[in-house]
Structure 1
Amino acid sequence: MSVEIERKYLVTGDEFKSLAHKATRITQGYLNSDKSRTVRVRIMGDEGFLTIKGISNAAGLSRFEWEKPISLAEAKQLLALCEPGMIDKTRYLVEFEKQVFEVDEFYGENQGLIVAELELKSEQQTVNLPHWIASEVTGDAKYYNSSLMKLPYSQW
């Protein structure tokens, strides 16, 4: 069993783009968006993935995650079966003080939202934040992609 431990932050401005060493377009949908378990289909660049995530712990930091690569053709077929509300974003990888932030700039109905995620080795890991981080939103379910597809940022 794999456990994902991460913190989420809101991002201000777009300075992070000039610091990014990689940018990849992502389209994703959900076959199941129940809060106790999500089943996500993702196309990341020219690769497909199927991911299952469990419910987050009380702090919102950790949860079960299982992910497997699938073919691009399979991912496209599964996206057609997903619940309404696709997520469209670009993910930028930005290194800061030996940490890699995954910064997601959202499009469509989530335009204007920029969220950074930082995967951790433990919940107690010390985190150093760049100045373009605004505030922490770890554990706030409205920032989960599975929530954004149901209630997009533009409707808040």
Structure 2
Amino acid sequence: MHIKRSDFPDKPGRLRSGIPIVISLLALWMLRDRIVQVELGNVWLLAREIAAWQWGIAGVLSAISLSAVARYDRLVAQYMGLKLPDHACSAAGWRATALAQTLGFGLISGALVRWRILGEPGGITLWQATRMTFLVTATFLRGGPFWQVWCPLQTQCCQMLCVFWQPAALA
């Protein structure tokens, strides 16, 4: 049985908007003991110690990293025989990876984001989005053939950055 987004009628903002709010409130309630221990004043002090150029570099490198990982989505969609536009796969991969890394529960949150973006009529099912997320994760963790074949320049850039950030490696 395949679950499609069209199986869930589009109530004007109620169901779709309500679920994330309920999940967020539940997460906040579950973390309430830890949240009260956080001293926001200290968080802001530490955040202000980071220079603007450091925030900028972090943002640029994050965008490069997410763009590289988004390529996996295009390759996995082709591997699965899904007839999806390359730009849509990349956009879904970029967003799914960013949100999954931020929210946690990578397989679940990544699959739901991909399904939300690519699950339009004529798009993919929830099961396909889950398989896609699993394959992207597995090939990323494996460092498998997708990375080695399709991203050789990216690999060289990453190796140069590792040397740059670890000067002891030059010795």
Identify, as 1 or 2, the structure richer in helix. Answer: 2
The TM-score normalised by the length of structure 1 is: 0.21
Greater gyration radius? 2
Tell me which of the two structures has the higher relative contact order, counting C-alpha pairs closer than 8 angstroms and 6 or more residues apart.
Answer: 1
